[in-house]
């Protein structure tokens, strides 16, 4: 493949589970910030993005690579067999690692077969991606689906700079050691040149594990781990949004229409919004309990408020995701049954996704943004909510202290997402907050959202990798 003529930088090869190709199921959009973030990084370096198409392969076609160039980015995607999807994606990635890394040991399943499937698919990724990688390329692997991939690529002789970024939290050592063969998994990470985490907290947990469980030599100051004569840098790089792109969405007709639709339908009531993939880590049922507590405490204010929860379904073949959907439907139904009037429903629960333009409009029309995950690597919805506000009349962000974003957005109203009382109190505080205070908080938050953006994140990571 030809070297990028646009820049002196080496070509960037990104490898992740999802790839934002127009035809890929679950590509860039409301599903998560990763897709949008990577697209921006690759565009600058005429890069290559390798990963799963999101499709199940017809039998016998598992080795095909579908290559396309769109908008300056080349994508190379592969289909996976039904068994691979079941064991690697639904199984080990989303029924073992995801719950464990989000402190939900109660939901984590430890099955030898899915662990083997995870290793098999990582090997498959290495086998198919390695021939596409040239000597000077910088390789950047993403997220918990592909932790061992760097080591698999090395075993095929790759000497390139290879980095890894974890988009989700890294659990405390005491929890992490519940994972069978945890040592084996972490040892593979030490084949990367650089390992990145969203926050200092997850980085510290990782370093603690390496020191106490692997007996590695850890330099906390410099952020490095040395084991068996090899040194890996380990540092925190908080991801941001594509500020230039996102903030311009407000000028589109789609965003304006969405804002108008929301305002017209809520009329004199203040709208409060939540936008999350339907995932138990997002704390949506707990949020509904907090809203219910607010209504119990201040029944006279029910007519002042409407809560809109947008929750596109996610990972629907995994049992814990089917359960969270049922729980949420019940909770919303209970509150609406008890609190609605013929002309007023307090909670609108919408089980579908919207475009980024529409979300911009909904955020702008909402005077309160509720982002209350129980545990979250970063949470870009919190940053998008801030970016969509009117500087002259900004809304209030209520944010979980347990989201990575809370470290940067200290001027949000921070809450313990497990406590309905805390959430109820925060809603009252947000409703009563004077304009001056809203503006002061917004100005500090928006400066961080604007400056610590996805371009800065990419530049920081690639500088340390390169
Ligand atoms: O942020 C974690 C993450 O897994 C991303 O990698 C992904 O874009 C998002 O959540 C959505 O999840 P999935 O790819 O399973 O639909």
Region 343-372 average pLDDT: 96
CB 278 within 8 A of CB 313: yes
- Could you tell me if the CB of 167 is within 6 A of ligand 1? yes
**Residue 385 pLDDT:** 98
* Residue length of the chain: 466
**Residue 41 pLDDT:** 75
What CA–CA distance (Å, rounded) separates 20 from 8?
Answer: 25
145, 167, 191, 356: the catalytic one is: 167
- Could you tell me if the CB of 279 is within 6 A of ligand 1? no
CB 368 within 8 A of CB 266: no
The single-letter DSSP state of residue 147 is T
* 39, pLDDT greater than 90: no
Residues 6+ apart with CB under 8 A from 364: 250, 255, 259, 388, 389, 390
Kindly give the pairing relationship between strand 270-275 and strand 368-371.
parallel
Kindly give the pairing relationship between strand 48-56 and strand 12-18.
parallel
Residues 6+ apart with CB under 8 A from 76: 48, 49, 50, 65, 66, 67, 129, 132
**Residue 32 pLDDT:** 43
* Separation of CA 183 and ligand 1 centre (Å): 25
CB 204 within 8 A of CB 236: no
Region 448-452 average pLDDT: 97
pTM for the full predicted model: 0.94
At residue 393, what are phi and psi to the nearest 5 degrees?
A: -150, 60
**Residue 60 pLDDT:** 54
* Separation of CA 377 and ligand 1 centre (Å): 11
In 101-152, DSSP assigns E strands to 138-142
Verify whether residue 102 is a known catalytic residue.
Answer: no
* Separation of CA 29 and ligand 1 centre (Å): 11
**Residue 268 pLDDT:** 87
Q: 17-26, 100-109, 143-152: which range is least confident on average?
A: 17-26
For residue range 229-260, list pLDDT tens digits in order. 999 999 999 999 989 889 999 999 999 999 99
Tokens representing 127 are 């086998």
* Separation of CA 93 and ligand 1 centre (Å): 10
What CA–CA distance (Å, rounded) separates 277 from 268?
Answer: 28
Per-residue confidence band for 80, with pLDDT thresholds at 50, 70 and 90: very high
* 414, pLDDT greater than 90: yes
Ligand 1, closest atom to CA 26?
A: 16
Q: What dihedral angle (degrees, nearest 10) is formed by the CA atoms of 163, 167, 172, 175?
A: -110
- Could you tell me if the CB of 168 is within 6 A of ligand 1? yes
**Residue 61 pLDDT:** 60
The single-letter DSSP state of residue 2 is P
* Closest protein CA for atom 9 of ligand 1: 32
Verify whether residue 376 is a known catalytic residue.
Answer: yes
């Amino acid at each position: 493949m030809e070297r990028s003529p646009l820049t002196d930088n080496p070509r960037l090869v990104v490898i992740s589970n999802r790839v934002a190709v127009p035809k890929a199921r679950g590509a860039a959009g409301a599903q998560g910030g990763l897709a949008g973030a990577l697209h921006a990084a690759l565009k600058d370096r005429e890069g290559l993005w390798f990963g799963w198409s999101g499709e199940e392969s017809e039998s016998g076609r598992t080795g095909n690579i579908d290559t396309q160039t769109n908008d300056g980015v080349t994508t190379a995607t592969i289909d996976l067999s039904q068994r691979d999807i079941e064991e690697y994606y639904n199984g080990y990635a989303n029924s073992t690692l995801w719950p464990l890394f989000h402190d939900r040991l109660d939901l984590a399943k430890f099955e030898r077969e899915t662990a083997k499937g995870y290793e098999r698919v990582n090997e498959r990724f290495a086998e198919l991606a390695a021939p596409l990688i040239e000597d000077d390329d910088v390789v950047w692997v993403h997220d918990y689906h592909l932790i061992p991939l760097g080591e698999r690529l090395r075993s095929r002789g790759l000497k390139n700079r290879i980095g890894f970024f974890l988009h989700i939290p890294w659990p405390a050592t005491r929890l992490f050691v519940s994972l069978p063969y945890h040592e084996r998994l972490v040892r593979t990470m030490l084949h990367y040149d650089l390992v990145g985490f969203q926050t200092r907290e997850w980085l510290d947990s990782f370093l603690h594990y390496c020191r106490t469980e692997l007996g590695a030599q850890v330099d906390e100051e410099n952020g490095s781990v040395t084991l068996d004569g090899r040194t890996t840098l380990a540092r925190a790089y908080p991801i941001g949004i594509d500020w230039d792109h996102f903030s311009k969405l407000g000028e589109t007709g789609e965003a304006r229409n969405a804002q108008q639709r929301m305002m017209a339908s809520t009329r004199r009531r203040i709208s409060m919004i939540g936008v999350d993939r339907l995932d138990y880590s997002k704390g949506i049922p707990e949020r509904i309990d907090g809203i219910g507590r607010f209504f119990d405490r201040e029944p006279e204010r029910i007519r002042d408020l409407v809560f809109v929860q947008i929750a596109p379904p996610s990972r629907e073949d995994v049992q814990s995701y089917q359960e969270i959907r049922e729980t949420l439907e019940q909770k919303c139904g209970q509150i609406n049954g008890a609190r609605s009037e013929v002309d007023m429903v307090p909670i609108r629960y919408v089980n579908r996704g919207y475009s980024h333009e529409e979300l911009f409009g909904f955020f702008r029309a909402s005077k309160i943004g509720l982002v209350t995950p129980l545990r979250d690597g970063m949470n870009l919805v919190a940053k998008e909510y801030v970016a969509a506000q009117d500087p002259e009349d900004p809304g209030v962000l209520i944010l979980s202290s347990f989201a990575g974003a809370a470290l940067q957005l200290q001027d949000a109203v921070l809450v313990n997402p497990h406590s309905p009382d805390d959430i109820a109190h925060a809603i009252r505080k947000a409703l009563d907050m004077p304009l001056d205070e809203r503006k002061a908080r917004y100005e500090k938050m928006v400066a961080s959202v604007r400056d610590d953006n996805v371009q800065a994140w990419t530049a920081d990571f690639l500088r340390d990798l390169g």
